[in-house]
């Protein structure tokens, strides 16, 4: 009973830590121990596994948003600065 | 060691600081579109984004003599642009629709492997844009600078006038919020 309780507390501690560090993990900001800590927990926790996978996909989508092309923009700004500056 | 491009830019900045308009206009050509792309996600539409971009460059020109070079020119410029965009956004009633709660959407499936054909890619990008626009401004800037525009953590922190730890914390919360919006999108798309 006590052993199970301690296991549960440890799991939840790792759950919170992992949830807070998923971006650091994806950005390569964790050292080896940190990476292993995330991977160990993700191996055990289906919720964190799903959040990590979908967060990775979210980042790919954000990077695909891109920059709208406005080739005429600079000329207009230069004119504005010449007039006002 | 600075790249050749960075060296050239540093020369342009020094010339602009000395009042050389041609040098400043070259800086405008280099950075106008990227600054526009950033402020576009803070304001109502493309016209307002153009106005904010113009205003940011005008302010930069008027104050470049005081630019001390402690930050990179474009992060200094982004900071001016973001502040101008925030100033305008403050005049409007706040429209925050993307929840910053961490709780996962109940019943949401794992859509990480969903093929693009499952939903229209354009729809997905629209959902992402709306989720970004629904974030409070202090969370919107990190995700736009870092994930959409591809700045490094250090550059994004510099542009926002934040420490890197604070930037990372806001970025993570913003990413989770946008991810959650996609949870809802895929849940709604399920047959």
**Per-residue model confidence as pLDDT tens digits over B95-109:** 777 777 766 656 667
Q: Which residues make Cβ contacts (< 8 Å) with residue A29, sequence separation at least 6?
A: A23, B153, B168
DSSP line for B38-79: HHHTTSSSHHHHHHHHHHHHHHHHHHGGG--SSS-HHHHHHH
The residue in chain B having the minimum alpha-carbon distance to the alpha carbon of residue A28 is B153
Distance of alpha carbon B6 from alpha carbon B74, whole angstroms:
11
Chain A residues touching residue B53 (CB < 8 angstroms) = 73, 77
B164-189 and B121-133 helices, crossing angle to 10°: 130
Distance of alpha carbon B155 from alpha carbon B188, whole angstroms:
37
Q: What is the DSSP letter of B93?
A: P
Give the tokens for residue B33: 């579109």
Of B36, B110, B178, the CB nearest to A73: B36
Chain A residues touching residue B129 (CB < 8 angstroms) = 65
Interface of B with A (CB under 8 A): 21, 24-25, 28-29, 32-34, 36-37, 40, 46, 50, 53-54, 57-58, 61-62, 102, 104, 110-113, 124-125, 128-129, 132, 143, 147-150, 153, 168, 171-172, 175-176, 178-179, 182-183
Distance of alpha carbon B165 from alpha carbon B188, whole angstroms:
35
Question: What's the structural domain count of chain A?
Answer: 1
Place of tokens 């007039």: A83
- Cβ neighbours around B10 below 10 Å, total: 14
Name which of B22, B135, B144, B147 to mutate to probe chain A: the one with the most chain A Cβ atoms within 10 A of its Cβ: B147
Give the tokens for residue B38: 């950033």
Maximum pairwise Cα distance, chain B? 64
pTM higher than 0.90 for the full model?
Answer: no
Per-residue model confidence as pLDDT tens digits over B61-84: 999 999 988 888 999 999 999 999
Per-residue model confidence as pLDDT tens digits over B142-179: 999 999 999 999 999 999 999 999 999 999 999 999 99
Please report the domains of chain B, with CATH numbers, ordered by start residue.
4-89 (1.10.1740.10), 116-189 (1.10.10.10)
Within chain A, residue ranges assigned H as helices are 2-26, 32-44, 46-63, 73-84
Q: Are B21 and A77 in contact (CB under 8 A)?
A: no
Q: What is the DSSP letter of B92?
A: S
Distance of alpha carbon B43 from alpha carbon B52, whole angstroms:
9
Whose CA is closest to A37, among A10, A70, A14, A68?
Answer: A14
- Contact: B175, A55; criterion CB under 8 Å: yes
Give chain B's mean pLDDT. 88
- Cβ neighbours around B147 below 10 Å, total: 25
DSSP line for B18-40: TT-HHHHHHHHHHHHHHHHHHHH
Per-residue model confidence as pLDDT tens digits over A5-61: 999 999 999 999 999 999 999 999 999 999 999 999 999 999 999 999 999 999 999
- Contact: A70, B183; criterion CB under 8 Å: no
Instruction: Show the domain range for A22.
Output: 2-84
Distance of alpha carbon B180 from alpha carbon B175, whole angstroms:
8
**Residue B53, exposed/middle/buried by CB under 10 A (0-12, 13-18, 19+)?**
buried
pLDDT of residue B117: 46
Give the tokens for residue B21: 């308009």
- Contact: B125, A57; criterion CB under 8 Å: no
- The DSSP H or E segment spanning B15 is helix B4-17
Of B25, B58, B125, the CB nearest to A61: B125
């Amino acid at each position: 009973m006590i052993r199970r309780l301690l296991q549960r507390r440890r799991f939840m501690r790792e759950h919170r830590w992992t949830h807070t560090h998923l971006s650091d993990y994806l950005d390569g900001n964790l050292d080896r121990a940190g990476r292993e800590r995330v991977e160990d927990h993700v191996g055990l926790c289906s919720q964190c596994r799903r959040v990590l996978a979908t967060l990775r996909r979210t980042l790919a989508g954000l990077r695909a948003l891109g920059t709208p092309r406005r080739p005429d923009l600079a000329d207009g700004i230069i004119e504005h600065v010449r007039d006002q500056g | 060691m600075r790249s050749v491009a960075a060296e050239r830019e540093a020369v342009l900045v020094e010339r602009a600081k000395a009042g050389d308009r041609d040098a400043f206009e070259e800086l405008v050509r280099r950075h106008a579109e990227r600054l526009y792309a950033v402020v576009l996600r803070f304001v109502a539409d493309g016209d307002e984004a153009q106005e904010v971009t113009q205003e940011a460059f005008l302010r930069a020109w008027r104050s470049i003599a005081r630019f001390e070079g402690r930050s990179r020119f474009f992060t200094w410029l982004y900071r001016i642009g973001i502040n101008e965009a925030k100033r305008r956004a403050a005049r409007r009633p706040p429209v925050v629709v993307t929840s910053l709660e961490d709780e996962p959407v109940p019943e949401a499936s794992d859509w990480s492997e969903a093929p693009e054909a499952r939903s229209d890619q354009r729809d997905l990008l629209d959902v992402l844009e709306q989720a970004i626009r629904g974030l409070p401004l202090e969370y919107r800037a990190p995700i736009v600078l870092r994930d959409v525009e591809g700045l490094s953590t250090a550059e994004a922190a510099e542009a926002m006038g934040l420490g890197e730890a604070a930037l990372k914390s806001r970025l993570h919360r913003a990413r989770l919020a946008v991810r959650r919006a996609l949870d809802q999108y895929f849940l709604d798309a399920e047959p």
